[in-house]
Every structure is written in C-alpha cells, then in structure tokens.
Amino acid sequence: MISPMPKLTRKDFQTDQEVRWCPGCGDYAILASIQKVMPELGIPREKIVFISGIGCSSRFPYYMNTYGFHTIHGRAPAIATGLKATRPDLHVWVVTGDGDALSIGGNHLIHVLRRNVDVKILLFNNRIYGLTKGQSSPTSETGKRAKSTPYGSIDQPFNPVQLALGAGASFVARSIDVDGPHLQGVLHRMAKHRGAALLEIYQNCNVFNDGAFASLTNKGTKAINQLRLEHGKPLIFDEGRKGIRLAGLQPEVVDLGEGGASEAELLVWDEKAAPALSFLLAGMGGGFPTPVGIFRAEERGIHHELELEQQATVQKKQGQGDLAKLLRAGDTWVVE
C-alpha cells in the first residue's frame, strides 16, 4: 500500500541558507510567493527542480528546498531542456533575469519556447543589470542613464512578452513582484500548463533602478496604469471608469459610463485568441495602461512527448536498433 503524500507547507520549501539579496529587493517578495504556491500544487519536493543562470535572480535554487542547478550565464533553458528530455517526470522551473535571459541567453530562450519544452520560465525583469552593479540591460528604456550608458541608452528595449509570443510560446504571462495574490494566481495557472510557459515578473531593484514600476504599484496610480487581463471579461481599468476597444487594428482608450462608450463596445479578452491580438496589447505604449495577466494559453504538442512518439514509430517500423552493429558498420549507413 502506497502511503499518502504528507501535507507540505511553505516552511517545507525553505532552506537553511541565508537569503542574500539587497534589503528591499523585489526578489524577496517573489521568493515568498513561490514558496507559498509550491505546497499547494501537491507535487513532492523530489519531483521539482529549479534551474538558474547567472544574476541576482539566479541565487534562487539555494533558497528552494527542492532539487536545483545554479548553472552558467544564459544557459539555464538549454540545461532545463536536457533534464526534461531525460526525466520527463520532473517539474522543471527556470529562474532567470532580463540580462541573463535576453542578452547572452536570448538564443536559448527563443528555442526552448518554440519547441514547447515542458518547462516553466520565471523571468525577473528589473530593467537593469543588478549583480554587475547597474549597467543598462536589454529591457532598459531608451534614454536610460546607467553606468554603461551615461548619456542615455540609444537602444530600443526588448518587450519580453512580445518576444515570447513571437517565438511561439504556448503560455505567456506578466505579473508584479509585490502583488502577491495576482502573482500566485498566475503561478498556479502556469504550473498546470503543459508546455513551455514564460512569466515576466516586474521586479524592483531598489539599489540601481528604484521605482521602475512605481506607477503600477503605488496605491494612487496603479488603478489608472494597470490593465488586468481576465479571460472572458471586457478590458476595463481605472476602477471601471475606462476601457479598451479596437478601432480597426488599433486599440484605443475610451471613457465608460454616462456620455461615454458602453461596455458592449469593449474588447473581451480571450487568452486563446490569435497571438496577433496578444502581441498588440503587449506593445501598448504611452497613453495606455500596462497589461498584466495571461496573454496566451494554448495547448499543443509537447517536445518530449513528440520525441517519444517519433522514437516509438521508428522502432515499430524498423525494430530496436543495435548501436554496436552501427558503430562497426563502416563510414556510411542508410536511413529509411
């Protein structure tokens, strides 16, 4: 008789390691949310792995009482792919930052997404290089003054959500470090998703880029600047006073209520709609609220399952291969 799995708590996912981030760093809030969600998933700790690259966020595996790898710069998605291919029974999470994922690791990131490898990617975005002390990153806004761009960055920043959508990710979302209920809700959805999932988490770096997302977190401004994406619901913000509708192929902000637009005119959010609409909303700039929530949730073939199906088909057709025979067969061989 198999013993039932013991009920886990947040404490079971905490390690004996001293958590070492700068006081006030948004990483603390993210760690707290993930440690709260993990026991609610009902997955044994020995079936969970956290893999990270290099950066402030990449200290994460030390603080999770699960299996983990602290790997090399930008290569966490590649290592996660190999692990999932050989141990598909494991629940594999990748923790990365905007520099680690989108600079040296950009190529690995887009391919793990397009292949739909069944891994969950947490991309902490503070729009700065924190570990190396304050250089502009691939997500720093144009004009950003930093140690590497003292006269202002001339580069156009990456939009991680648009990048993930363009790479064909089957699950794409965005949340905020200090919004625990929202972040935890998205983490639950992400954990249940079968396939490559990317969650961009806006994260404050209070040392090198303090207040980068203050308009989305301050009590007096977040209502007008945040747009919550909820499947099957119209796009409404500013405590019900404003909404988003489409004017041809362009979104526009409209006032609601007496003398304004009706709720029936608004765009109703569908996380399974064509990716082009998600891409459009993710790119809304000045004058528009910032969308948070799930941009895309699509079910399609998972990489390791497709690989196993292909192997089974080949073996059924050709029989079990003989590696030793193949190695002694000479310099050429035939693939049927």
Asked if pLDDT for residue 332 goes beyond 90, the answer is: no
**Would you state the pLDDT for residue 53?**
96
pLDDT at 91 (0 to 100) = 98
Closest CA to 202 of 211, 192, 191, 194: 211
Confidence of residue 28 (pLDDT cuts 50, 70, 90): very high
- DSSP label of 285: -
User: Other CB atoms closer than 10 Å to residue 46's CB: what's the count?
Assistant: 9
Give the confidence band of 331 by pLDDT, cuts at 50, 70, 90.
Answer: confident
Confidence bin at 2 (pLDDT 50/70/90): low
Helix (H) or strand (E) run with residue 310 in it: helix 303-318
Look at 5 and 261; give whichever has higher pLDDT: 261
Quote the pLDDT of residue 249.
Answer: 86
Q: What is the mean pLDDT of residues 74-89?
A: 96
pLDDT tens by residue, 268-312: 999 998 889 999 999 998 889 999 999 999 999 999 999 989 988
Structural fold of domain 10-212:
Rossmann fold (3.40.50)
Instruction: Give the tens place of pLDDT for each residue, 221-242.
Output: 999 999 999 999 999 999 999 9
* CA–CA dist 281, 255 (Å, integer): 18
| Whether pLDDT at 188 is above 70 | yes
Residues above pLDDT 70, as percent of the chain: 98
- Mean pLDDT on 17-26: 95
**What is the DSSP track for 216-279?**
HHSTTTHHHHEEEE-TTSB-EETTTTEEEEEETTEEEEEEBSTTSB-GGGSPBP-TTS-HHHHH
Q: Residue 58 carries which side chain, given as an amino acid letter?
A: S
Residue 47 has pLDDT above 80, yes or no: yes
pLDDT tens for 142-173 read: 999 999 999 999 999 999 999 999 999 999 99
Phi (first) and psi of residue 296, to 5 degrees: -155, 135
pLDDT in tens, 87-146: 999 999 999 999 999 999 999 999 999 999 999 999 999 999 998 989 999 999 999 999
Q: How confident is the model at residue 334 (pLDDT cuts 50, 70, 90)?
A: confident
Please give the model's pTM, rounded to 2 decimal places: 0.93
Picking from 123, 122, 119, the residue whose alpha carbon sits closest to that of residue 195 is 119
Overall residue count recorded for the chain in this entry? 336
Q: Rounded distance, CA 7 to CA 13, Å?
A: 12
pLDDT in the model for residue 327: 81
pLDDT at 3 over 80: no
Structural contact between residues 80 and 117, judged by C-beta atoms closer than 8 angstroms: yes
pLDDT tens for 301-326 read 999 999 989 988 888 888 877 878 87
Please tell me the predicted confidence (pLDDT) of residue 336: 67
Pairing of strands 171-176, 290-297: antiparallel
pLDDT for 1? 53
